[in-house]
Chains A and B, each alone.
Chain A
Amino acid sequence: MDEDQEWVAQVLSGSKDAYAHLVNKYKTRVYGLLIGMGASPQDAQDLAQESFIKAYRYLASYNPEKQFSSWLYKIAANSYLDVWRKQKRERMDAQEEEYVDWTSPEQVYLHKERAHELRAHIARLPEKYRLVLVLRYIDDLSYKEIAEVLELPLPTVQTHLHRAKKKLRAALQYTKTGGDLNEMYGI
C-alpha cells in the first residue's frame, strides 16, 4: 500500500538500488532500537548492518500485507537477542561508560545528565519491558504494531509498557531520595 511496499516490490524485481531508500528511512530507528536494547554504539552499528542485510536476503518471505518496518524491527530485535542474551549481564556495566560519549560536546550538561540517567534506568529494566518500551519510543509504534513485532497479545504489550513506565517513574524518584538501584529493580 505505501511507499515501503513499493520499494520492496522494486527490489524483488531486480532493482537493488531501491533498497537504499529503505535503509535510509529506517537506519536510525533500527540503530536506536539496538542501542535502546543495550548494545554499545559500535555493536549496534554492526548489528544494524547485519539486520538490513538479513532483511534483504529474506525479502521474498516478507508478507506485503504487513508493515515493512514491523518485520524489520523483528529481525533486528531477534539479531540482538540471539547474540547478546547470554552475555548481557557481564556487559551491562561496561556499556554504561560508553553511553556518556553519545552526546556531542556542545550539548549542555543537563541534557547529558537527564538523558543519561533515564537511559541507565531503561538499561536496567527487565528485557521484556525494555523491548516494548524501546519499540514504542523509537518509532511511535502503536501497541498493535508492537504486538505484531514481538508476537505478543495486545493486553500483554499494554501491561509491559505500563509496568516499564511505572518502574522508571519510581526509579527516577528513588534516585533523587537516595537508594540502591539494584534494590529497586530486585536484581
Chain B
Amino acid sequence: MKCTEYEQMSRHVEGETAGREKMAMDTHLLNCPACRNLYEECQAEREALRAALRAPALPGSFTEDIMARLKPHAVVPEEPQAPEPVRKAGKRKWKRWAYAAAGTLLAVSVAASVSPSFASYLTQSIFNRNNQMIDLGLQMAGEKGFVQQGNYYVTDNGITLRVLDVVADPTRIALSYVLEKEGGGHLDPDFDPRFREEAGNRVYLTDTKGNKLADMSSWGRNDPYGIIGFQLENNIPEKAVVHFELSRVGGFAGIGAKEGRWELQVPVDMKKGLEATRSTAVNLQHTTGQGVSINIKTLLFAPTKSQLEFETSITGSAKKKLQELVERENRLGIAEEGADAYRDYTYGISYRLLDEKGRVVAGKSGPVLPSGERERNPIDSSGVHKPFGRTVWKDGFVPLGEAKRLTFVLDAVDMEEPSDFSLSFTPDNLKKSPVTGQYQGSTIKIKSFVVKRDWDIKKRPPFFEDESHAIIELEGVHPQNTGTFTHWVVTDENGRTYKAMVSGGEEDPDASGNRKFTSTLRVYGLKHEPKKLTLSLTRIMKRHTDVDWKVDIPVSR
C-alpha cells in the first residue's frame, strides 16, 4: 500500500480501521519508517489529548450526595399476561452475571488501591487471573506461578521507580512497575519518549554479558502500574537482564513529566519459562489458487502465549499480476519513487484455529468467523518482511498447553489486483446530475466535488504552505465479495494525473451481505476548478474465499 496521510493514521491509532484497511496499514507499518514516525506522532497526540481532558478529582461525597436525593424505583407488579417466558429467562441470567461482575469489580479495585509498601505489593501480583486490564496470557501465566518478584527500585528527584512483577517465557517478557512519589501517591506510569532510543529514555533487554537481546516492544497501563513487554526471538539464554535508563518519567508528551536519572537493572530468570515451553516443528505447505504460498513452520506452547510461526510468499500468477500492476502505475506516473514494488504490494491471509472439538481457539480477520468469537480469541500478529514479498509471521494467541489437536483452516486470501474502472464527470454538473458507475457488482456514486482553500502552518519557513486541494466525496454499496477500493487517481482535462488520498468507512454488511461505504478522496496538487475530470481506480483489494485448505497441526505430547 501507499504511504498514509495523517487522517487515516490518526484513525488507525484510535482503532478505527478494521478488516482489510487495518491489515494493509499494519503490514505497511512494518517496513515504512516514515509512516511509523507518523504513527508515533499520532499516538503522542492521542495521549496528550487524553491527558488534557483528564478530569480533576471529585469530592469524596459526590456519589453519596446523589444517592441521598434518590428514591427507590417502584417495582411494577407482574401482571398475569406479562412478562413473556423469554424475558423471565433473561432476568435470571442477569442475576447470575451480577455476581460474576461484582467479583471482578472487587478484584480490580483491590489491585488498584494497593498501598505502596513493598510487603503489600508482594501479596498479589498484578499478573493475576482477575485483572482484566492485562491480556489473558499474562493472567494465566500469573495464575500458574510464573511471576518472579524481587525488591528492585531506584530513587531520584523524589520519585521511586519500582519494578514489581516479571513474567518470562521464550516468546516474551512482561514486567510491571510503578512510579512512587515521596510521601505517598503515584505518578502517571507513562514516560516519554517510550520507544525512541536517542532521546533520554531507554528500556532494553540484554544477556548477562551485556549483549542486547531486544528493545522494549510494548507498553500498557493498568494504573497506577505500567506494563512493559519485550518480544523475544530465538536463542534465549537462561538468564537475562532488563535495563532501565530513564531521564523523564511520569507523563507523555511532556505533560506531567518529572526529570531525573533512574537507572535500574532487573535480573530475569528464563529457566522456568523455557522448561515449561514446548515447540513442535510443523512444516506444512500449501499454495492457493491465487498464488499465495503458506508454509507453517513451528507451533509453540509457552506459559504466556501459544505461537504459530509461518511464512507467506507470492508465486506464479500472483507475481505476474503484481508486475502488471507496477507497470501500469509506472505508465500513469503514479508509482512510488524508488519503492520496493514487492514491499508495496499488499496481501494477507485470514484463518482460524480449531481445537479437537471443533471450537475456535483463535482467528485472524476471517470472514467466516463470527466477529464475537474473533474478539474473544484474537490473534496478535507480528510479521517481518523479507525480500520478494516474503513475510515471516509470528502469530500469538491464548496459551493452550493442554490442546490435544489443532486444525488450521484457511478462510480467505486478500490480494491487491489491478483495476481498469474509471468514471468521467464534469464538476459543474455534478449537483444537477450525479454520476454513478458499476464495477464488479459495486455501485459507486460521485456525490460532490469541491476545491478547498486550505493552508498549513509549518515550524520552518515558509511558515504558510498552500494546502489547497480538491475533495471528492463518493458513496455506494459493495456486494459480499467485491474488494475494497482504496487506490484512486484523478486525471484533469489537460491529461495531468494526480494521486488521491483516500479515507472513509464501511458499514457492517446487511442481511444479504451488502456493505454501504463512503469515501473521501483528497487530491493534493489539484487547485483549479477543472472542466472535466476522470476518476480511475488503479487497484482493488480483493478477498478470495474460494480457498480450500484445512490441515491438522500435530501437537506433540
Does A81 make an interface contact (CB < 8 A)?
Answer: no
**Chain A positions within 8 Å of B50 at CB level:** 137
A59–B65 Cα gap in the complex (Å)?
Answer: 19
Within 8 A of B (CB), among A148-171: 154-155, 158-159, 162, 165-166, 168-170
Does B253 make an interface contact (CB < 8 A)?
Answer: yes
CB distance from B131 to the nearest CB of A (A): 16
Residues A49 and B66 in contact, CB atoms below 8 Å apart = yes
User: Could you tell me the dominant secondary structure of chain A's interface residues?
Assistant: helix
Residues B7 and A173 in contact, CB atoms below 8 Å apart = no
Residues A138 and B53 in contact, CB atoms below 8 Å apart = yes
Residues A14 and B74 in contact, CB atoms below 8 Å apart = yes
| With known contacts A60-B73, A136-B14, A170-B456, A53–B105 Cβ distance under 8 A | no
Within 8 A of B (CB), among A68-93: none
| With known contacts A52-B66, A108-B257, A173-B457, A142–B97 Cβ distance under 8 A | no
| With known contacts A27-B62, A49-B62, A110-B255, A174–B457 Cβ distance under 8 A | yes
Closest to A25 in B: B105
Does A66 make an interface contact (CB < 8 A)?
Answer: no
**Chain A positions within 8 Å of B58 at CB level:** 27-28, 31, 45, 48
Out of B53, B75, B258, which one reaches A122, CB within 8 Å? B53
A52–B74 Cα gap in the complex (Å)?
Answer: 18
Residues A27 and B52 in contact, CB atoms below 8 Å apart = no
CB distance from A142 to the nearest CB of B (A): 7
Residues B15 and A142 in contact, CB atoms below 8 Å apart = yes
**Chain A positions within 8 Å of B69 at CB level:** 53
Does B112 make an interface contact (CB < 8 A)?
Answer: no
| With known contacts A13-B75, A154-B505, A32–B67 Cβ distance under 8 A | no
Residues B63 and A24 in contact, CB atoms below 8 Å apart = yes
Residues B10 and A23 in contact, CB atoms below 8 Å apart = no
Out of B73, B181, B456, which one reaches A59, CB within 8 Å? B73
Does B357 make an interface contact (CB < 8 A)?
Answer: no
Residues B63 and A23 in contact, CB atoms below 8 Å apart = yes
| With known contacts A5-B94, A27-B63, A118-B48, A56–B70 Cβ distance under 8 A | yes
A183–B69 Cα gap in the complex (Å)?
Answer: 46
Residues A12 and B10 in contact, CB atoms below 8 Å apart = no
| With known contacts A114-B255, A170-B456, A162–B63 Cβ distance under 8 A | no
Out of A24, A53, A114, A154, which one reaches B253, CB within 8 Å? A114
Out of B7, B52, B56, B459, which one reaches A41, CB within 8 Å? B56
Closest to B506 in A: A154
Number of interface residues of A (CB under 8 A): 69
| With known contacts A6-B97, A174-B457, A15–B72 Cβ distance under 8 A | yes
A56–B63 Cα gap in the complex (Å)?
Answer: 13
Closest to B473 in A: A155
| With known contacts A16-B71, A165-B45, A36–B62 Cβ distance under 8 A | no
Residues B52 and A53 in contact, CB atoms below 8 Å apart = no
Does A180 make an interface contact (CB < 8 A)?
Answer: no
Residues A111 and B94 in contact, CB atoms below 8 Å apart = no
Q: 0/1 per residue, A42-66, Cβ < 8 Å to B?
A: 0011001100110010011000000
Residues B51 and A115 in contact, CB atoms below 8 Å apart = yes
Out of A9, A10, A15, A176, which one reaches B459, CB within 8 Å? A176
Within 8 A of A (CB), among B209-247: none
| With known contacts A5-B94, A31-B58, A115–B67 Cβ distance under 8 A | no
Residues A6 and B94 in contact, CB atoms below 8 Å apart = yes
A53–B62 Cα gap in the complex (Å)?
Answer: 12
Does A182 make an interface contact (CB < 8 A)?
Answer: no
Closest to B75 in A: A14
A17–B67 Cα gap in the complex (Å)?
Answer: 8
| With known contacts A19-B67, A134-B53, A110–B257 Cβ distance under 8 A | yes
A60–B56 Cα gap in the complex (Å)?
Answer: 31
Residues A165 and B10 in contact, CB atoms below 8 Å apart = yes
Within 8 A of B (CB), among A106-147: 106-108, 110-111, 114-115, 118-119, 122, 133-134, 136-138, 142-143
Does B256 make an interface contact (CB < 8 A)?
Answer: yes
Among B56, B74, B75, B504, which residue has the most Cβ atoms of chain A within 10 A? B56
Residues A158 and B505 in contact, CB atoms below 8 Å apart = yes
| With known contacts A56-B70, A110-B254, A143-B16, A118–B457 Cβ distance under 8 A | no
A80–B533 Cα gap in the complex (Å)?
Answer: 46
Closest to A174 in B: B457
Does B133 make an interface contact (CB < 8 A)?
Answer: no
**Chain B positions within 8 Å of A170 at CB level:** 456-457
A58–B242 Cα gap in the complex (Å)?
Answer: 54
**Chain B positions within 8 Å of A154 at CB level:** 505, 507
**Chain B positions within 8 Å of A44 at CB level:** 55
**Chain B positions within 8 Å of A13 at CB level:** 73, 75
CB distance from A67 to the nearest CB of B (A): 16
Closest to B15 in A: A142
CB distance from A27 to the nearest CB of B (A): 6
Residues A114 and B73 in contact, CB atoms below 8 Å apart = no
Does A97 make an interface contact (CB < 8 A)?
Answer: no
CB distance from A146 to the nearest CB of B (A): 10
Does A181 make an interface contact (CB < 8 A)?
Answer: no
Within 8 A of A (CB), among B498-545: 503-505, 507, 518, 520
**Chain A positions within 8 Å of B72 at CB level:** 14-16
**Chain A positions within 8 Å of B16 at CB level:** 142-143, 158
CB distance from B252 to the nearest CB of A (A): 10
Out of A27, A59, A137, which one reaches B53, CB within 8 Å? A137
Nearest 6 Cβ contacts at the A-B interface: A32-B55, A3-B101, A118-B52, A16-B72, A111-B256, A14-B75
| Additional pairs, 4, CB under 8 Å, beyond known A32-B54, A106-B181 | A3-B97, A49-B62, A168-B49, A169-B45
**30 A-B pairs (CB sep. < 8 Å):** A3-B97, A6-B101, A7-B98, A16-B67, A19-B67, A23-B63, A28-B55, A28-B58, A32-B55, A36-B53, A36-B55, A49-B62, A53-B66, A108-B256, A110-B251, A110-B254, A110-B256, A111-B254, A111-B255, A114-B253, A114-B255, A118-B48, A122-B53, A158-B11, A158-B16, A158-B503, A165-B45, A166-B6, A170-B456, A177-B457
